[in-house]
Structure formats: C-alpha cells, structure tokens
Amino acid sequence: MYDLIVIGCGGIGSATLHQAALKGWNVLGIEQFGLAHNKGSSHGQTRIIRKAYFEHPSYVPLAEEAFDRWDFLNKRHRTRPDIHPLFEQTGVLQIGLPDSEVIVGVRKSCELHGLQLEEFSADQIMQRLPLLKVESDHVGLFEPEAGFLRVEHCVAAHLAQAKKRGAKFAGETRVQSWTANADSVRVVTDGGNFDARRLAICAGAWSGGHLGDVPLELKVIAKQQNWYQIDRVEQKLVNDFPVVFIEQADGEQFYCLPELDSMGMKVARHTGGRVVDADTLDRNVDDDDLQRNGDFLERHFVHRKHRLVHHHTCMYTMSPDGHFVVDFHPAHRNVAFAAGLSGHGFKFAPVLGHRIVEMLDGGSDPSMDFLSLKRFSK
C-alpha cells in the first residue's frame, strides 16, 4: 500500500513525485513511456519562465515561488560544473502594441505585484538587439531575471531526486483504469494492479481519459516547435540574446528561445493549432505552421535566410478559459489532479506538485482558488 500513486510522470507528475518523496511518503509514479520522453507536453529543449504574467495576475506569487523551487532543485541536481543548469536567466522581452493582450496583462501584473520591468520603445529594442525588427508603434517590457528552463533535464532531475528519496518509478507502464473508496485507491495497469491511500492524476494530454465523469472540457492542440539556423547579418550567441515573446498587431503570438547548440534558435507559434487526439497525433511537419513561422521570421528578424533544422510536435491541453485546473476529484477527497495547463504550465511544475501533495495531506491554499474546478459551475 503506497501513500500516493501518481499517474503520469511528465512535467507535473515528476514534480509531484519529488514533493511526495521529500515529505517522506512511500510513492509510486506510473508512466506509459520512458523517463523524460518526447511524446507528451514536456519536451523540446526549453520552456520559458517569467513572473510578469500577462495571462492572469494571480499567477505572479506562484511564479515567484516557482523561481525558488527551481533553484532548490537546481542546487541538488547540478553537482558538477559541466552539468548544464536547469534554469538560465537570459531575461524575457515581451513585445506588442500598448493595448495588446500581452502588454496590458504584463503591466497589470507588475502594478498589482510590484514587479519592476524595463520598458523600451521599438527603436531602443532594435538598438540593443540589432537582430530584431520591431514595428514603430510596438513597445517592449523586459524582465531581466526571467529566462528558460531545460525542460527534459528538469523532468529527469525531479525523477532522480524523487528516486534518491525512495520514490518508485514504473516506466513503460500504462494505466488502464482506477477506482477509489474513502481510504484507498486501486490503479489497474498493463503491468499489474497497485494500491495506495491517495492518487494524483497528472496525465497531461491524456487527462480526459482519467477524469471520467469530472465536468471539465479539455481540448488537446498540436503545437510545433521549430529550430532554425539563421544566416545572420550579425552573429548572436546564447546569453547575449534573451527569450523574446511577440504579439503581432493581428493578435498572433510567437516566441523565440536563444540558440543553445547546433540546432539553432527555437521559434514557435503560441496561438492557433489544430485539435488532435493524444494517441493518434501526427508528428510530421505541419506545413501551415511552418509557413506562419517563416513569415514571422521574415517580419521580425534581420537576416539573409533561415533553414529549418529540426522540429518537434508537442501538445497543449486547453481548459475552457486557458487557466489550469488543480483540484480534487469531485467524488473523492483522496484523488487530486492538475489538468488543462493550456500551454503555460511547465514553469509552475514544482509549485503544482507541492500543492497537490499538500491538498492530499489535508492542506489548502486560497491563492490557488482561481484554478479550482468550481469556477466552471458559476
């Protein structure tokens, strides 16, 4: 009998496993694929981490906590200087029209939570980053402490640290179903049955299948991450180029992450995407997405030409309002879940893992109420 079983050991599940192990719980993580695999939502080299949150100001305190929790993990993971840090503080520059969703949202979060950002006009941005082309009526807000996480390394580090504290990991094991009563849960897998006092469902794009009758509509969207080699007018290497997030005048949002190796710079479209099924996802290059990313590069980068070197298809699991859903299963106080992370959840993984474990241990945190299931029944 485990204290906790975690279904899914990707971004959130690996962090939940770690948090439970830190608490001294006897915990089992069950994962249908391998360790830090590339078939879910937590792969593709990097994830942006920032505090100046345009999506909703209530995420800011959670992001502040996330910075500390990643630091805690990094200190334990980075035992030799040749191991890459999990978190690189390159800064994040968010660009848009003054009345765009991004700029208005970032300003609101800064005002409410006293965050200090540097503001630049289009000309100032282009002086500092000559590689960028910015339309004259756009502005930029720069958060110097923000940056990116090495996503697969983060998942692997959470799992390694959890295992160090006694957690068990069952990879290549697919959960078929689960049942619960007041005191225990039983999880049925293709590798046998497992029993525990509590259950955490962290199944990403497969969440719908594990949440059964929970009244929550989730939509899975394919997202392509593209790596380009850019024949630049001026060479720029990692650490002198920040993460850049741009909302264009047409409302389309794109982001770019610095070049880390020979794959080049990562560019992806945050908006749009086709609805898919996680089990039958087509991972081939999406030509429409490629065209849009190419147009974005032409419009915003001073360069001679670009070449696609690599791509990965990933999935956003969208909740109805684009915010996470972290709650108990309505019928079981010993079953909690995090779902619908809507394409911006990775940075919060250690915070969500911590809260899921605390919830299942009888704790509560009012600052998480905006993410509860009950908002949809209003």
Ligand X SMILES: Cc1cc2nc3c(=O)[nH]c(=O)nc-3n(C[C@H](O)[C@H](O)[C@H](O)COP(=O)(O)OP(=O)(O)OC[C@H]3O[C@@H](n4cnc5c(N)ncnc54)[C@H](O)[C@@H]3O)c2cc1C
> For binding to ligand X (CB under 6 A), which residues are involved?
7-13, 30-33, 40-42, 44, 47-48, 174-175, 202-206, 223, 225, 268, 314-316, 341, 343-347
CB of 129 to ligand X, least distance (A): 19
CB of 305 to ligand X, least distance (A): 24
CB of 136 to ligand X, least distance (A): 28
Q: Which is nearer to ligand X, 113 or 232 (CB)?
A: 113
Structural contact between residues 202 and 58, judged by C-beta atoms closer than 8 angstroms: no
Q: Which is nearer to ligand X, 182 or 275 (CB)?
A: 275
Q: Which is nearer to ligand X, 140 or 345 (CB)?
A: 345
Q: Which is nearer to ligand X, 54 or 316 (CB)?
A: 316
Structural contact between residues 226 and 266, judged by C-beta atoms closer than 8 angstroms: yes
Q: Which is nearer to ligand X, 137 or 195 (CB)?
A: 195
Structural contact between residues 11 and 34, judged by C-beta atoms closer than 8 angstroms: no
Q: Which is nearer to ligand X, 9 or 21 (CB)?
A: 9
Name the region of 180 (left: φ>0; alpha: ψ -120 to 50; beta: rest): beta
Structural contact between residues 54 and 105, judged by C-beta atoms closer than 8 angstroms: yes
CB of 225 to ligand X, least distance (A): 5
Q: Which pairs with CB-CB distance under 8 Å and at least 24 residues apart come from 26-29?
A: 26/2, 26/166, 27/2, 27/3, 27/162, 27/166, 27/167, 27/168, 28/2, 28/4, 28/167, 28/168, 28/169, 28/170, 28/194, 28/196, 29/5, 29/159, 29/162, 29/167, 29/168, 29/169, 29/170
CB of 322 to ligand X, least distance (A): 11
Q: Give residue number: closest CB to ligand X.
A: 10
CB of 81 to ligand X, least distance (A): 26
Q: What is the DSSP string of 123-134?
A: HHHHHH-TTB--
CA distance 287 to 147: 29
Q: Which is nearer to ligand X, 117 or 326 (CB)?
A: 326
CB of 304 to ligand X, least distance (A): 27
CA distance 284 to 174: 24
